[in-house]
Amino acid sequence: MKNKSERYMRSFLVSIQKEDKFFVARCPELCVTSQGKTLEEAQTNIKEAIELYIESFGEDLPREISKPFWTTVEVAHA
């Protein structure tokens, strides 16, 4: 069992997209979403949302998963 004062760093993948007037930030590993009026605000808000998630569900965090590989594909359309 972990000592409650023991802390360690963990990285999470976050995607941020501009949607209308806001930047929407998503952490797919934890199913956490946040937003901000600026890119910086979205980054700050998603970090806070992830920290709150960990505070609430820390013992049940999913194990670290391999990071996805992002790519693009071209498709033809009419």
Where do the domains of the chain lie?
15-60
The pLDDT, as a whole number, for residue 21 is 96
What is the rounded average pLDDT for all residues in the chain? 87
This prediction's pTM = 0.74
Q: Are 23 and 35 in contact (CB under 8 A)?
A: yes
The pLDDT, as a whole number, for residue 74 is 95
* Dist. CA 29–CA 10, nearest whole Å: 12
The pLDDT, as a whole number, for residue 24 is 98
pLDDT digits (tens, 9 = 90+) for 10-35: 888 899 999 999 999 999 888 999 99
CA 8 to chain CA centroid, nearest Å: 17
Q: Which of 51, 41, 37, 71 lies closest to 9, judged by CA?
A: 51
- 3-class state of residue 60 by DSSP: helix
Positive or negative, the CA dihedral 68, 15, 31, 59 is positive
The pLDDT, as a whole number, for residue 32 is 95
